[in-house]
Structure 1
Amino acid sequence: MTRPLERTSPAPARLRPAGYTVVRVGDRSFLLHRRASAVALLLAFVVAVTAVVSLCVGESYVSPTAVVRVLLGQPSPDELVVGTLRLPRLVTGLLVGAAFGVSGALIQSVARNSLASPDVIGVTHGAGAATVTAMTFGLTSYAVLPYVSVVGGLSAAALVYALAWRGGLHATRFVLVGIGVSIALGSLTRLFLTKGDYLVAQQAKVWLTGSLNGRGYDQAAPLAWVLLTLVPALLWAAHAQRMVSLDDSTATALGVRLGPVRLGLTAIGVVLASVATGAAGPVDFVALLAPQIAHRLTRTAQIPLLSSALTGAGIVLVADLLARRVFSPVELPVGVLTAAVGAPYLMWLIARTRARSAGGT
C-alpha cells in the first residue's frame, strides 16, 4: 500500500525589520540600517572634502594635489604651511566636533529631549568655570587645562544629576535643573573674569567663546586617547540607546536597569564634552545641532552615534573655515559662528516644543 505524498510547506523566511540588511561576518550576523549607512558614508565624504578645502585655503593658497602629497608623507615645499600650521588645527577641530556630536547624542538619548545637550545642562559651563578659575589663579598651561576642564565638567554633571534625581531621572526635570546650574556657573565665571588679571581675562574670554586658533597636537592628543579608550564603551552605548528610548515601564518589564544604564550613558557623554571643552573651549551648540541633524537625515529610531560624530566634525570644520576666511584678515573664534547658527535653532526648537504642548500632542 502506497502512502500519499505529504505536501510540505516551505520554511518561513527569517523576518528582519524594514530598512535593514543582514551582514554576515564569519559565523556572526548583524543588522545594518541601509539609510543610516548611506548617510554616514555621505557625511564622511563631506567631512573629507571640507578638510581638504580647509588645508588648501588660508593666507596662501595650496593646491589640493600638494595637500594630498603632504598628507601621504611625500616631500613637498608646502610641508610647513600644510603639515605644521594647518593640519594640527584641523585634527583638533575634527576630534572636538566628533566628541561634541557623540556627547550630545548620548545626553539627548538619556533625557529623551532634543533640548538637552552638554552646553544647555551645565557640563560645558562647569568645565569653563573650572578652567577660568584655574587661569585666574595663574594656571595657564594648555597641557594642564584640559584635565581641569574634565574635573569641572564632571563636577557640574554630578551636581545636576544629584539635584534632578527624585527616585528616578525625569527628562524635563533633568533639563530644567541643568539650565539653572548653567546660569549659576556662568555667573561664577563672570565673577572670576572681573577679579583676574586683565591679560588673563582676555585670554579666558577668547577660550570661553570656543576657538581653534593656536590649537595643535598638544590639545588633540588627550582627546584622541580618550576617544580611543572609550571605543568599547561607545559600542555598548550604541546598544544601550535602544533600552533608554523605551518608556520606563516597558524597559523595566524587559529587565533593564534604567538607573545604571542612564548613568553610564551620561558619564560617557560628560567625559567627551569635558575633554572637548578643554581642547578648544566650549564651542556652543555643536552638541545640540549635530545629533538632531544626524537623526533627521538617518530617520532611525535612536540617534545614530557615528553620524552624530561625523556631523559634529563637519559643523566645526565648516564654521572654522568660515570664521577664518569670511571676515579676513580678522579671524573670528569658531564658537561665534556655531552660536550664530545654534541660538536661532534653539529658539525655534523651544517654540516648536511649546506649540506641540499647546496642541496637546
Structure 2
Amino acid sequence: MSRAVRHLGSGILAELAHRRTRAVLGTLLLVGLVVTLLGLRLGSYQVPWGAFLAALWGGGDDMGQLVLLNLRLPRALVALGAGAALATAGAIFQSLSRNPLASPDIIGLTTGSATGALVSILWLGDKALNLPMGALVGGLATVSVVYLFSLQRGMQGQRLVLIGLAVAAMLASVNDFLLTRAELDQALQAKMWLHGSLQGTGWLQAQRMALGCAVLLPLAWLLSPRLRLLEMGVDLATSLGLHVGRSS
C-alpha cells in the first residue's frame, strides 16, 4: 500500500513539474514576443501601430519599411536566434556536466571561438566568411581538445569542467597577446566582435542564423532523451543501455 502511495505521489509531482515547465516556457515565449514587437516599433524613429502593421505587410511609407524591414527586423531575428542557440548550448552542457550552473564558456568554447576570430581578423582579413568560419573552427578545435583530454579514465563532468577551465585560461592569454600584435583598426574590430554587437546586422546574417538554428536545434531536441539519461550519471545511464561515450 505504501509503495503504491509513493508511486502515486511521485507521478503527481512529475506532472506538476511538467505543467510548471510548460507554463514557464509559455510565459517566456510570450514575453519575448512582446519585447520583440516593442523593440521593432520603438527607438529613435518611433512607428505608430498602424504604420508598423502596414510596414510588416509590405505597405506604409518608405521610411517605415526601411527602418523596420531592413534595419530592425533582421537584428531582432538574429538576436532571437542567438538567444535560442545559447540557451540550447547551455542546457546541453548542463546535462553533460550534471551541473545546473555550468555554461559552454567554462570549457573554453567562447574563448576558443574568440581565438579563431582574432586569427581571422589578423591574418585572413575581414571578408564575409572569414570571421564566422574562424570562430567556428576555433570553437570546435577547443571543444575537441577538451573532450579528448576528458576521455581519459572515462568521461566525467568534473574532469570536463577542470580541463575546460585550464584550456580557457591559456587561450585567454593567447587572445591578449594577439590583441597586442594587432593594428589599431584591427584591435578595434576585434574588441567590437568580442563584446558582441548587432550593428551592421542584415538579412544575410539573419539567413545564416536561421539556417543554423533550423539544422541544429531540432537535432538537439532529438538528442534530449539521451541527455536526460546522462543527467543521472555515467553508471546509471550505462546500465539503462546508453552508450555514454557516443552520446557525449
TM-score by length of 2: 0.88
**Aligned-partner residue type, residue 18 of structure 1:** I
Which residue of structure 2 lines up, in the alignment, with residue 245 of structure 1?
231
C-alpha separation in 2, matches of 1:246 and 1:80 = 51
Could you tell me how far 1:109 is from its partner in structure 2? 0.8
Bigger drift between 167-176 and 124-133 goes to 167-176
Partner amino acid, structure 1, of 2:39: S
Partner of 2:57: 72
**In 2: Cα distance, 1:108 partner to 1:171 partner:** 9
How far does the alpha carbon of each residue in 1:53-90 deviate from its partner, in whole angstroms, 9 at most, with x for none?
11122222122343233223333441111111111111
Distance in 2 separating the partners of 1:161 and 1:257: 16
Higher relative contact order, chain-length normalized (CA < 8 Å, sep 6+)? 1
**Match of 1:134?**
120
Is there any run of 5+ residues in structure 2 with no aligned partner, and where?
1-7
> Which moves more between the two structures, 227-236 or 81-90?
227-236
Residue 4 of structure 2 is matched in structure 1 by none
Per the alignment, residue 120 of structure 1 pairs with: 106
Instruction: Choose 224-233 or 250-259, whichever is displaced more.
Output: 224-233
Matches within 5 A, 1:47-62: 47-62=32-47
CA contact (8 A) 1:136 1:193 kept: no
2:135, 2:190 → 1: CA distance?
A: 13
Matching residue of 1:200: 186
Counterpart CA distance in 1 for 2:239 and 2:14 is: 26
Instruction: Specify the alignment match of 2:173 in structure 1.
Output: 187
Query: Is the 8 Å Cα contact of residues 119 and 134 (structure 2) preserved in structure 1?
Result: no
Deviations 1:131-171 (A, max 9, x none): 11110114212333212211111000011111222221221
Look up the equivalent residue of 1:17 and give its one-letter code.
G
Deviation at 1:20, TM superposition (A): 6.4
Q: Percentage identity across aligned positions?
A: 34
Q: Of 17, 24, 34, which residue of structure 1 is paired with 2:11?
A: 17
Distance in 2 of aligned mates of 1:37 and 1:66: 34
Code of the residue aligned with 1:61 in structure 2: it is Q
Deviation at 1:249, TM superposition (A): 2.1
Once the two structures are TM-superposed, the CA of residue 92 in structure 1 deviates from its matched residue by: 1.0
CA contact (8 A) 1:19 1:34 kept: no
Per the alignment, residue 5 of structure 2 pairs with: none
Q: Which runs of 4+ in 1 moved over 4 A?
A: none
For the residue of structure 2 that corresponds to 1:230, the secondary structure is: helix
3-state DSSP of counterpart to 1:137: helix
Summarize deviations over 1:190-218 as a string: whole Å, max 9, x none.
Answer: 11111122101111011111111112222
- Note if 1:43 corresponds to 2:37: no
Q: Give the superposition deviation at 1:115.
A: 3.7
2:223 is aligned with 1:260:
no
Contact 1:19/1:35 (CA < 8 Å) preserved in 2? Answer: no
Q: CA deviation at 1:225?
A: 0.9
- Equivalent pairs, count: 238
Q: Deviations over 1:78-132 (max 9, x none)?
A: 1111111111111111111111110011011101113421222100111110111
Cα RMSD (Å)? 2.0
The one-letter code matched in structure 1 to 2:191 is K
Counterpart mapping for 1:80-99 below 5 A: 80-99=66-85
Q: Distance in 1 between matches of 2:72 and 2:49?
A: 14
| Residues 190/63 of structure 1: CA separation in 2 closer, same or farther (3 Å cut) | same
TM-score normalized by the length of structure 1: 0.62
Q: Structure 1 pair 231/138, CA: closer, same or farther in 2 (3 Å)?
A: closer
Give the distance between the partners of 2:60 and 2:130, measured in 1 at CA: 34
Instruction: Pick the aligned partner of 1:147 from 130, 133, 149.
Output: 133
Q: Which stretch of the first structure deviates more once superposed, 151-160 or 32-41?
A: 32-41
Q: Helix, strand or coil: the match of 1:90?
A: helix
Q: CA deviation at 1:227?
A: 1.4
- Contact 2:120/2:130 (CA < 8 Å) preserved in 1? no
Select 1:217's aligned residue among 188, 192, 203.
203
Secondary structure of the equivalent of 1:119?
helix
Contact 2:85 2:217 in 1 (8 A): no
Comparing both structures, which one devotes a greater share of its residues to helix? 2
Q: Quick one: which amino acid aligns to residue 253 of structure 1?
A: S
Deviations 1:24-75 (A, max 9, x none): xxxxxxxx93222222211111001100111122222122343233223333
